[in-house]
Structure 1
């Protein structure tokens, strides 16, 4: 009789013994064996780890090998512990999902804090997702203890080793994460989430006591409000036009009639910040020509994971593992089914999050942008374009002011 390793995939075990004994193949199926093994496994889990290092040790123990693989035992899921001492991370990903990234797909990276497992010093969960066929598919998870560039780079280097080859990446504006993407994948096309951009400039306007010009209906009709909203519309310009657009705004702001001196000083201070923080990186700020503008699909994924965990803060490690293993299984079979058939197969239950164009609920916003684009094409006037496009920003700024400057993009 052939001797198998102590921990082997169910399919390997089934094939080995069913070939030796035809009786087994006649009366037992792979599916029935998988169901029975799942039932037995559900009754027994290893001790709950307290530290990242302890979790890694448990997952590399051959007796627990099934927990480190995908739900269907077809691929390895736990990819090890990475990072320097004090910056350790646990990486979870399957090669089969990473291999499905197409050249024109967009990858998104974002952090979530609520679902991080109850491990000492765990800081957040870094999720890498794939935007493909109009839907979001999580392809990798990392439980991280630090949010530094070197910590993110260690995770991304591991994913690169496993086959991650992104062409385009959209993230929020976290400098550490973005620096890691540039370091590990220096040739990628990287840009930032438009909604997080709006949130950042609203927060800065609030610090300058200018937020009321963006949110108060009685104050939103004046020239100061117009200048601020034109800044918010700048990412709608191409990278090559952003600096010129800013220069036009600066010139307009210097000659505003009837604006109190204290407000004018705050406005000019805001514009200096805007140039330093945003105009200096036009390739990352522009969303013109991008078919993904925001990380809304990622935010939807976070909400879905929270729902799966019954909105539990810091679940146990094994509960967290169960959720992300099932999500990998769901993502792989949905994405594979769409790739083969061209449409969702319906074999997997649950709603898959979609990434929507920003503020797609507001037809007026879309109409403003379309009209502004027509105007720009007709006469190449950057000032006219920004003036028209700025009108569509009003609703977004009102939303941020109503729900707080830490609000996430609504689905």
Structure 2
């Protein structure tokens, strides 16, 4: 047998010859038995080829394609048992998909993105900026810059799971368009430091000036990242930074676990209530927060006292306190953005995509953004069409608004207010 063939022994009296990819039958020997063995091999080859072809042609994730074909195989239960397992075809499917993309150089610094990968599906320039080392890449169209300039509330966040190995994070900037959060700027960065964020914002501001528009957000909702906040404040003087309340709560709850209070939080009602009331102080008027923390911290001892010491050091400083205070704030969290990250992770189908796999994902997402903007511009789509109603969130919002009115009106004491709001404080994630 030649070296480009492999012999599969099916029965002693019969053999099938295929190529090394096991996707083509080159020759089979005759036999006097039934042809069942032949048919099972041909079935597996056919399904393997279908999976590889779809992986190479479609934009759906590899796991999604496999699950669709696996489900379809059940239409014939006689052959379904021969359907190849995901473990057997996964590598071949990803190899087939990789052939769609340009080859990558050995290092990030050598990366040169081909012209066809620098534009959106509508032909607009998408790669806005890349520095000489490719340590910062900004993907944003001129139209996205103009859209960004028309909004005063921006949401910012970074994600890490789907980012190529060459980069540390994908940082993105979003706005609400008729109540729907849409991404307008995507940045791949090697670091998460002050110079990196300055480089991003400086280039966005320069691009806006070249287009004759001004970027001037009034409110930026973001995580409590050490480098990001001062970069935003320096680049956009007078901007109000609104820290994400959900992230604030998770940070405090991580400290609860770190101090060894996890078991008490989960099983002691009074301990849990005290900690949740502490986080509920965010809903008080800013000048009243210190008095509330002092009220809750009276007579605490041991690990609870240590938690209050941490809270005062970490969150009660003059610069820090306004970031997590959400008194009369309507949009308190970046949860819409977290939902977007989850969607992108699902579409990616795996961690750490290759560079061009991620770029394809961003080009696809930009296409959806452009379509949505055109729908709104045409007048055919309104806020009611785009808004996904979250009954639970709306109930919480109405409840907190009512409680705040009672507190401000003097019909509810500070302690009563904190006890009531504590029921709406987020629970820990990965506790």
CA distance in 1, matches of 2:329, 2:399: 18
CA distance in 2, matches of 1:345, 1:375: 31
Tell me the CA shift for residue 198 of structure 1.
Answer: 1.0
Structure with larger Rg = 2
282, 307, 321: which one aligns with 1:270: 307
- Correspondence 1:3-152 to 2 at 5 A: 46-55=102-111, 58-59=112-113, 64-73=114-123, 75-82=124-131, 88-101=135-148, 105-119=152-166, 122-152=167-197
Paired residues of 2:148 and 2:184 also in contact (CA < 8 A): no
229, 233, 240: which one aligns with 1:189: 240
**Aligned twin of 2:293:** 246
- Correspondence 1:268-347 to 2 at 5 A: 268-280=305-317, 281-309=320-348, 311-341=349-379, 343=381
TM-score, reference length from structure 1 = 0.71
SS at match of 1:91: strand
Higher mean C-alpha displacement, 275-284 vs 337-346:
337-346
SS at match of 2:161: coil
411, 414, 421: which one aligns with 1:382: 414
Tell me the CA shift for residue 138 of structure 1.
Answer: 0.8
SS at match of 1:287: coil
Higher mean C-alpha displacement, 102-111 vs 382-391:
102-111
Q: Deviations over 1:224-267 (max 9, x none)?
A: 433211111011123232223223223xx32x6xxxxxxx1222
Paired residues of 1:92 and 1:140 also in contact (CA < 8 A): yes
- Correspondence 1:364-375 to 2 at 5 A: 365=396, 369-375=400-406
182, 191, 201: which one aligns with 1:156: 201
**Aligned twin of 1:404:** 430
Root mean square deviation of aligned Cα = 3.0
Q: Deviations over 1:205-224 (max 9, x none)?
A: 112222334322xx11x2x4
Tell me the CA shift for residue 356 of structure 1.
Answer: 6.0
SS at match of 1:101: helix
Tell me the CA shift for residue 329 of structure 1.
Answer: 2.1
Tell me the CA shift for residue 146 of structure 1.
Answer: 1.0
Paired residues of 1:292 and 1:355 also in contact (CA < 8 A): no
**Aligned twin of 1:230:** 277
Paired residues of 2:202 and 2:235 also in contact (CA < 8 A): yes
Tell me the CA shift for residue 52 of structure 1.
Answer: 3.2
SS at match of 2:292: helix
Q: Deviations over 1:12-52 (max 9, x none)?
A: xxxxxxxxxxxxxxxxxxxxxxxxxxxxxx99754324433
SS at match of 1:100: helix
Distance 1:277 1:356, change over 3 A: farther
Tell me the CA shift for residue 334 of structure 1.
Answer: 0.5
CA distance in 2, matches of 1:209, 1:52: 43
CA distance in 2, matches of 1:48, 1:175: 33
CA distance in 1, matches of 2:238, 2:184: 21
Query: Which protein has greater RCO, CA pairs closer than 8 Å, 6+ apart?
Result: 1
CA distance in 1, matches of 2:255, 2:120: 44
Tell me the CA shift for residue 339 of structure 1.
Answer: 4.2
TM-score, reference length from structure 2 = 0.68
Q: Deviations over 1:327-385 (max 9, x none)?
A: 11211230242244172599xxxx9896969x628x4x557524522320221733332
